[in-house]
Amino acid sequence: MLKLEAKSLLRPFLIFFVVLASLALLMLSLNAALTGSWTSGLSIGNPFIVPSVIMIGAISALRTPTWLRLGTQMGVTRRQLSASFVIIWSGITVLMMAVMVLYSQTGGHPMTFLAELGYPGAITPVVWGANCLFLVLILLASGLLGWLFNAFYYNANQYLFLGIVAVVAVVTVASWNNFVTGIAPSDSDAAKLTRRLASGSLTRTLPAGEANPWLLVGLALAVVLVLALMLGLLMRHLDMKPSSDLSGLSGLVGRHVVLIRVALAAAALLLLFSGAAFPTKSIGLVVLGVVFFAPMLAGK
Q: How far, in Å, CA of 44 to CA of 49, rounded?
A: 13
* DSSP structural state of residue 257: H
Taking a C-beta distance cutoff of 8 angstroms, is the pair 62, 295 a contact?
yes
Output the pLDDT for position 244. 46
Give the three-state DSSP class for 112: coil
Output the pLDDT for position 297. 53
Tens of pLDDT, residue by residue, the chain (300 residues): 667 777 777 777 777 777 777 777 777 777 667 666 655 555 555 667 877 888 888 888 877 777 777 777 777 777 888 888 888 888 888 888 887 777 776 655 667 888 888 888 888 889 989 999 999 999 999 989 888 887 777 777 667 777 777 777 777 666 666 666 665 556 777 778 888 888 888 888 888 888 899 999 999 999 999 998 888 888 877 765 544 444 555 555 555 666 766 777 777 777 777 766 666 666 677 667 666 665 555 555
Output the pLDDT for position 257. 63
Taking a C-beta distance cutoff of 8 angstroms, is the pair 67, 81 a contact?
yes
Output the pLDDT for position 202. 86
Q: How far, in Å, CA of 90 to CA of 142, rounded?
A: 11
Q: Parse the chain into domains and list their residue ranges.
A: 2-297
Output the pLDDT for position 96. 83
Write b or e for each residue in 110-129: b if 16 or more Cβ atoms lie within 10 A of its Cβ, otherwise e. bbbbbbbbbbbbeeeeebbe
Please give the distance of CA 237 from its chain centroid, rounded to a whole number: 27
Output the pLDDT for position 222. 95
Output the pLDDT for position 253. 57
Output the pLDDT for position 294. 59
**How far from 249 is each of 78, 149, 156, 166, 300, CA to CA, in Å?**
19, 8, 13, 14, 11
